[in-house]
């Protein structure tokens, strides 16, 4: 089946709305997954930096603990 036939079938057989809805759902899921991965990477990078500051002695463990708790969200 050629693309022109597929497009013709989509436009004529009342499947345009379901195709748009399905595509939107897929895009939303992909977007949320990427956002979640980026925030996880950033959180882990911050934890590593705080651990490095504690290891070199420029920050106390108590200060590091307060910094990690300060950014926590109630929902996560």
Which pTM does this prediction carry?
A: 0.63
Is the pLDDT at 73 greater than 80? The verdict is: no
Burial (CB < 10 A; 0-12, 13-18, 19+), residue 51, is middle
Alpha-carbon distance of 2 to 9, in angstroms, equals 11
In the chain, domain spans: 36-68
Half-sphere exposure of 10 (CA within 13 A, CB side): 12
Q: What are 71's two structure tokens?
A: 């950014």
Q: Look at residues 18, 42, 38, 19 and name the one whose alpha carbon lies nearest to residue 30.
A: 38
Contacts with 40 (C-beta within 8 Å, 6 or more apart), sequence order: none
Encode pLDDT of 48-72 as tens digits: 999 999 999 999 999 999 998 887 6
């Amino acid at each position: 089946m050629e693309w022109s036939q597929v497009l013709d079938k989509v436009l004529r057989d009342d499947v345009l709305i379901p195709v748009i809805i399905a595509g939107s759902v897929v895009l939303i899921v992909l977007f949320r997954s990427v956002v979640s991965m980026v925030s996880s990477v950033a959180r882990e990078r911050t934890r590593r930096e705080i651990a490095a500051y504690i290891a070199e002695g420029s920050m106390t463990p108590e200060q590091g603990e307060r910094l990690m708790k300060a950014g926590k969200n109630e929902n996560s």
